Amino acid sequence: MISLGVGLQEQTVGRFLQSGLFGTITVASQSDLPGPLAQLGARGGRRGFGGFRGRGGAAAASEVPAAKLDDAALKQISALENVREVYPNLRLPVEMSLDGFSQTVPAIGVPMSSRNEGSFQTLSFGRFFADENEHACMFSLDMARQIDRQNPGSLIGKTAKLSYAATATDVKGAAFNGGFQVHRADLECRVEGIVERSVGSLPVGPGIPLLSVVIPLAMARKINDEIVANAQSLMRDPGEPRSYSTLTVKVRQPQYTQDIEDRLRQMGFTVFSADDALRGAKNAFIILDIFLSLIGSIALAVSSLGIVNTMVMSILERTREIGIMKAIGASDGDIRRIFLIEASVIGVFGGLAGIALAWIVGQVINFGANLYIRSQGGTAGTLFSLPLWLIASAIGFSIAVSLAAGSYPAARAAKLDPIHALRHD
């Protein structure tokens, strides 16, 4: 029972760790968020953005002015102690064209540090970017299948075109928008890989929607400097630096997450992280383990009665033997130790047999469950897990239960009168 709870916990916590969200903070500007979200993130409401809780106080949030997320803020956050990396979360609307397929999709900029993290741990086809400055891209598996359903891997090596509306300075002095005009910009990029796993449901980090293009962060920055995504970006003062909607902050060690969150809040930012959700998941699994342990205690009580019955029957069958041992000088303590040792041996072999049976049953269930999960297009996992600490605990606990169950029969054997024991048939 406990192995089921441990397996489920390892699956849940492992997904957080593999996604790269553990020790990752998302930073947003309070002025860029809708009113209710900004208030929740700033004052630490019961639930924050996307179900993650914020921390802090309402008074502190009102005293600190809202900070703007631009390159200056990015450098300021990067200078904080125990911050490993800071980069903007860029999702830019572009038109992707390849082999007669054309559709407007989000282009997601990812840094080189994302290699072997989260969705990029394993690729369906191809490889991760070799260099941040190369003109390369990766497709989500769903989009690759829309282009070539039979053989999506054949897209590797082909050249895709990304088009977007961009601003350009009118050297002739156009009267529109203070000397700015809009034109179509095209970027060609080589398809380097196809990403299978989607983490778009997670609100932190570079989530990958079902239909998307992944590009190096340097290319995404270039597009972001030029793109006209809405009327606000068109009317922006050309001398004013662009701001970002959110930043991703990665800390050096997960234990520094809380300290960095507090310092970012003092700087006037709204912050969110997956740590609270992970902490809540761990608490939920503790309750699940307790519940499964209570169910297992029923079987434990039955097995304890079985040990008591076995030891009592052993005493009845060996009454004359006990009388002979006492007649030749064995003390009550010697008799008690003999039966307690026998009980502990029963516990050791019973624990080993139980572990072997649990491992076999767990492997069978894992195999069957993974077959079904794969048939539904999911990712295989381990439902039943037997780590070393659980095996050692199970053996130790079985010995303790056997000793407790054998204490009464041992005491009963030690109190036998040797004269009556020798006369027992």
DSSP string for 223-273: HHHHB--SHHHHTS-TTSPP--SEEEEEESSGGGHHHHHHHHHHTTEEEEE
CB 251 within 8 A of CB 23: yes
**Separation between Cα atoms, residue 296 and residue 283, nearest integer Å:** 20
CB 222 within 8 A of CB 230: no
Dihedral of the alpha carbons of 22, 23, 27, 33, in degrees to the nearest 10: 30
Q: Which residues of the chain have pLDDT under 70?
A: 1-22, 30-66, 168-180, 197-209, 230-241, 274-282, 285, 377-381, 424-425
Helices (H) and strands (E) in the chain, counts: 13, 11
Which pLDDT score, from 0 to 100, does residue 160 have? 93
Which pLDDT score, from 0 to 100, does residue 119 have? 75
Which pLDDT score, from 0 to 100, does residue 291 have? 75
E strand or H helix at 352: helix 332-375
Q: Which residue has the tokens 């054309």?
A: 102
**Separation between Cα atoms, residue 10 and residue 17, nearest integer Å:** 10
**Separation between Cα atoms, residue 413 and residue 416, nearest integer Å:** 5
CB 199 within 8 A of CB 188: no
Burial class (CB in 10 A: 0-12, 13-18, 19+), 74: middle
pLDDT digits (tens, 9 = 90+) for 356-397: 888 888 888 888 877 877 777 666 667 777 778 878 888 888
Which pLDDT score, from 0 to 100, does residue 136 have? 92
Q: Which pair of tokens denotes residue 45?
A: 């409401």
Q: Report the DSSP beta bridge partners of residue 215.
A: 109
Q: Is 204 left (phi over 0), alpha (psi -120 to 50) or beta?
A: beta
Q: Is 149 left (phi over 0), alpha (psi -120 to 50) or beta?
A: alpha
**Separation between Cα atoms, residue 258 and residue 53, nearest integer Å:** 12
Which pLDDT score, from 0 to 100, does residue 280 have? 67
Q: Which residue has the tokens 């060690």?
A: 253
CB 319 within 8 A of CB 280: no
CB 141 within 8 A of CB 156: no
Of 38, 197, 207, give the one whose Cα is nearest residue 123. Answer: 197
Q: Which pair of tokens denotes residue 11?
A: 């699956």
Judge if pTM exceeds 0.75. no
Which pLDDT score, from 0 to 100, does residue 36 have? 44
Of 219, 199, 218, 217, give the one whose Cα is nearest residue 209. Answer: 199
